[in-house]
Structure formats: C-alpha cells, structure tokens
Amino acid sequence: MTKRTQLALATAVVAALALGASGCSDPKKGANSGPSAANPAAANDGKTLGGTPVKGGTLTVLSNQDFAHLDPARNWVMPAMDFGTRLLYRTLVTFKAEPGKGGSELVPDLATDLGTPSNGGKTWTFTLKEGVKYEDGSPVKAQDIKYNVERSFAPDLTGGPDYAAQYLAGTEGYKGPLDGKHLDSVKTPDDRTIVFELKRPVAEFSQTATLPTFAPVPQSQEKGTQYDARPFSSGPYKIETYDRDKKLVLVRNEHWDQKTDSVRKAYPDKFVVVMGLKGGQVDDRIIAGEGADASAIEYFNMRPESAPKVLPKPEIKARLLAESQGCTVMLHLNNSRAPFNDPKVREAMQYAVDKEAVITAGGGPALNEVATAYLPPALSGGKQADTLKIPASGDPAKAKELLKAAGKEHLKVSLAVSTGDKGKAEAFQQGLARAGIEVVIDTVDPGAYYDVIGDLSTTPDMTYTGWCPDYPSGSTWLPFVFDGRTIKDKGNQGNYAQFRDEATMKRIDEINAMADAKQANQAWIDLDAEIMKKSPSIPILLERKPLLVGPNIAGAYGHPVWTGTVDYGTVGLKDPSKSQG
C-alpha cells in the first residue's frame, strides 16, 4: 500500500511487525476458502467481543508510535482514518458500525442522506443535518466542509487523499485556500447545502464522501501544519492533551448530540493513547490484562512471537481479533527495464514464486492466505478470481520453460523489502532459485522504504508491498496500481511496477465513465483478469489484522473497511469502574 494503500502506511509503518501465528488451515485453498474453523486466528471473525459496553470509564489504546496525521486533510492511513473519523470529526457520509459485510454499508453522517446526483452524475448535492456542533458549541456549516476540501490541495498539507483533485472540475493549478483563493466547483448556497461539480460522472461519489477530506474545518481554526496536533472536534470527543510520540488524551465533546449521530455510541468517558512502547510490550501487557491494561486495546498488529502465547490458550485467544485486512500484498516487477519489460519473463515469474514459503515466513496460514488475483475478495464478490490457476507453491518447471523460450534462462535481479520483511524476501529468494533466478536482497529501513521504491532513480527490479481500497470499489484499486499516468519520478505510489499499458489505461477511462456502479464493479473484476495475464505484478498474499483486547473490553470488532482495525465508534468497557486513568 502506500499512504492510502491501506497497506501503504498500514504496511509501511507496520513493516517491522510481520504477522505471525501457527495454524493448520490449508494455504493452497488461498483467498477463495474464506475463514475456516480450522484457522485458530479466524475464530472471532464477524463477532463482537465482550458484549454490549456500559457507558463510562477510560479506554486505553497501546501503540508503538504516534499517528501519521490527525489533520483530516492529511489523514490517509487506515487505522488513523478510523480513529479520526469515529472520534474527532465527522464526514458527509460514513460506514455502518457493524462487523462483517454490514460494515460496508453507507449511511449518512453530517449529511441528511447519501447525496443527490444530477447533471448525469457530474453534480452532487448534500444537505447537512441541523443541530451538529463543534466542541465550542458553534454550528457545523457547509462552508467548513468546502474549506477542508480546499485545504487538501495545499502543498504544505501533504499525505492526504487526492480524490478531490481527481474528481473536482477546475482544479488545475489550485494550491489551496491558505492564500485566500477558493474553488468555484464547490458551492455553498447556504449554511446547510454543499454542491460538488465534477470533471466527469462519478457514480460512487457518496463513498468518496466518507473520507476525512469531507470533514469540516472552520477557516477560523486554521493552523497550517500545526492543525495536526489539535484538530477542532465535530465528533463525540475532543483533544484534552497531546504530547507527540508519548500520549494523547481525548475527553467528551459535550456539544456532540447523539440525536444527530446514528453511528457513534461514544461509550467511554475518555480515550488515552499511550505511544512509543517497545518490542512486545503492547502484546504482553494486554495478554496479562492487569490494571489499566484490562481496559486496553492495541493500535497496531500483534507481533509474530506473541502467537504462541495467545493461540493455544482459549481464554486469551477469545480476546483476539483477526479480520481480513482487505488488502492484497504483491511482488511488483519493474516493467520499465530488462528483464521485466519482457511479458514472457513476467509470466515466468508468476510460476516461479513459492507463495506457500512466503506465507510460512510471514507467520503461517493462520494469519495469511494465498492471493490469486489483484483485487481483494471484498471487491470481487467475496471471492478472489484465479485466472492463472497456478499452484500456491509455484511450478518451477513451467517457469524454466517460459524463461528458456524468452532466452533468459539465467537471471539475476534485485529485491528491496522493508527490514521487517527480510524473512519473506529470503522465501522469495529460495523459491525463485528453483527456476534459476538469482535474487539479491536489499533491506530498507521502514521509514525510508516508500521513498526508495517511489523514486524512479532508486527503485530496484522488484519491490514488495500491498494496496488496499479506500472504500469498497475497484476504482480505488486498479487505477492507482496499474494506470501508467499515475507514475511520478519521485513520490510514486501505487504503480511500483511502472506498468504502462495503453489498453489498460483506455479501459480504466471507460470504466470510470460508467454511470452504473454494478456494471463498473463487474468491469473492474474483468479488467483484473486481463491485467493478470500481462503479469506486471504478482499477487502474493492476503493478510489478517491480529489485534488483542483486554478482558474488560466490550463491543470490539474489526471493521471491514478500515482493514480490520477496531471500530472506535462502538468499542467500550464491560465495567467502567475497573478502568483507570
């Protein structure tokens, strides 16, 4: 992933936390098998742990690091988007607070409905609910949403979703509102009406309006890059204190009104985020579940070495969430130069890779499943396609045959991985060696990984990373990963294969122009199969998100849209009197 690739930061930041667990499900079944009773990490799939919360108390979130961004114009990392949009600010539209498939359903948030299209889908109008207020009691206005959309264009406010730039008309050369300039394509005829004029029809604009870009920021609260440290709340909580890299404390926004919000339940009185914990501290503290840690959840993934402390123990395993992240992790082949500018060599790579070995290196089949297509199951009807029907362990004989036909029987290629993925890199190395392909591994610090692979002057022959949808639509996936027009000399994100294919780009434009969302969805699935045949990248695995919760936690489930992160809008405590802080 990239910043948004829910695997972007979700993978970049967590690269050192390679998932791990033991299990006995059959990896050959791959993505198509779905959760299995034989998979010990999937036992709580689709469940809400701990029953219904009781209002009150302090819920603690334990983390190894700070948030990337909390400014809604810059927030494009899945766990942070979940945290920000459920607790601190509301968006025009959001996702239902439910585990499983129900969590993908759109519901109004600040708006009274999901928006009204007109002008053939090129104009979208939203009406705001009455009575929605900020933390100081002032009303949320349509002009505040317009202002934050405009902020997303500011060069200094980097890192956020760029859908406004993609979709809105008349944005060429626009640099945001900080110099006093505003967009004509976002109109606010009154305080409760906002109208977006788009470059082209976008049938799924309601889903786009779930992103933090479409949260309100009053111009009077503008603090530039400093807004990250103190977003002005329109949600159920406000920031009491924020000591970067150490602790964030949220308390109730007394002006938030449950009557205007059908999604958030705001059970705890307070959220305390403790940051900077080292090694396995987070896991060990929640496994022990003593004191304040009994009322704690973890922000990032359970570490692989913790699996033996959790999976064999029913009372602890009952507190483990491990929903599918909904992302596909891939081995990207650099299509811009030899040897991977040859389609036959790329096809050989599909057969040469041993995905089973990579899954074992990642902790085993309990938390990893074989990927057989690019689009994750959530975007393809709940089941990944298997266009090429290659065994999960590969077919080195077939790979050798294809390489011989291409005149490339002996290859030496480079592979860059984040430090935490070294074990997986070695699994690639050993698997590809069976077909006579020598791999030179370069491990890169997680903080620099995406800069290295996103710079065309430093990107290697192969890179390993994933991509996740911003919302359940193929339009948030295939165009970002395989549209050659998205490639940048520096800051390239998504199309790490540098895949430039005219037929693919033409089809992307045709699908984007479709007014019927169902027709477009099937078209994305069909395009996935066509791209698979051209093999710009190799889908490797689908990861689950293992998260432990304390024994006093209630209402916890992994939300399907936010890559299996705990839904902060509905989590709380069994007994608030037992919490501390």
d(CA 26, CA 110): 45
Residue 540's pLDDT is 98
Sheet hosting strand 296-298, strand order edge to edge: 237-243, 247-252, 270-274, 58-62, 296-298
CA 574 centroid distance within chain? 29
Phi, psi of 232 (to 5 degrees): -85, 120
Per-residue pLDDT of the chain (581 residues; tens, 9 = 90+): 343 333 333 333 233 233 222 222 222 222 333 333 345 566 677 789 999 999 999 999 999 888 889 999 999 888 999 999 999 999 999 999 999 889 999 999 999 999 999 999 999 999 999 999 999 999 999 999 999 999 999 999 988 888 999 899 999 999 999 999 999 999 999 999 999 999 998 988 999 999 999 999 999 999 999 999 999 999 999 999 999 999 999 999 999 999 999 999 999 999 999 999 987 899 999 999 999 999 999 998 888 778 889 989 999 999 999 998 889 999 999 999 999 999 999 999 999 999 999 998 887 887 789 999 999 988 998 889 999 999 999 999 999 999 999 999 999 999 999 887 899 999 999 999 999 999 999 999 876 888 899 999 999 999 999 998 888 889 999 999 999 998 988 878 889 999 999 999 999 999 988 878 889 999 999 999 999 999 999 999 998 899 999 999 999 999 989 989 999 999 999 999 999 87
Residues of the chain with CATH 3.40.190.10: 66-260
d(CA 231, CA 215): 11
What is the DSSP code string of 202-249? -TTHHHHTTSGGGS---GGG--GGGGGG-PPP-SSEEEEEEETTTEEE
Q: Compute the chain's Rg from CA coordinates.
A: 23
d(CA 470, CA 561): 8
d(CA 138, CA 157): 25
d(CA 322, CA 301): 9
Residues of the chain with CATH 3.10.105.10: 325-544
Query: Is there a contact between 497 and 334 (Cβ–Cβ < 8 Å)?
Result: yes
Query: Is there a contact between 217 and 147 (Cβ–Cβ < 8 Å)?
Result: yes
Q: What architecture does CATH give domain 325-544?
A: Roll (3.10)
Residue 549's pLDDT is 98
d(CA 132, CA 144): 12
Query: Is there a contact between 143 and 188 (Cβ–Cβ < 8 Å)?
Result: yes
pTM: predicted TM-score of the whole model, two decimal places: 0.83
d(CA 488, CA 155): 16
Which DSSP letter does residue 563 get?
T
Token readout for 129 is 């609910």
CB proximity list for 85: less than 8 A, separation 6 or greater:
72, 91, 94, 210, 212, 215, 235
d(CA 538, CA 517): 27
- Inter-CA distances, 60 with 10, 230, 247, 548, Å: 21, 19, 10, 12
Residue 40's pLDDT is 57
Omega cis (within 30) before 339: yes
Residue 41's pLDDT is 62
Cα–Cα nearest to 437, from 469, 415, 463: 415
Which top CATH class is 66-260?
alpha beta
Locate tokens 């942070």: which residue?
A: 80
- Cα dihedral sign, 36-42-46-52: positive
Residue 301's pLDDT is 87
Phi, psi of 493 (to 5 degrees): -145, 130
- Which helix H or strand E contains 11, and what residues bound it? helix 8-12
Collapse the DSSP code of 103 into the 3-class scheme (helix H, G, I; strand E, B; otherwise coil) and give the result: helix
Q: Can you give the three-state secondary structure of 315-353, one letter per residue?
A: HHHCCEEEEEEEEEEEEEECCCCCCCCCHHHHHHHHHHC
Q: Is 308 left (phi over 0), alpha (psi -120 to 50) or beta?
A: alpha
Residue 492's pLDDT is 85
Beta strand 106-108 with 462-467 is unpaired
What is the DSSP code string of 475-489? GGTHHHHH-GGG--S
Query: Is there a contact between 426 and 440 (Cβ–Cβ < 8 Å)?
Result: no
Instruction: Quickly count: other Cβ atoms within 10 Å of residue 447's Cβ.
Output: 13
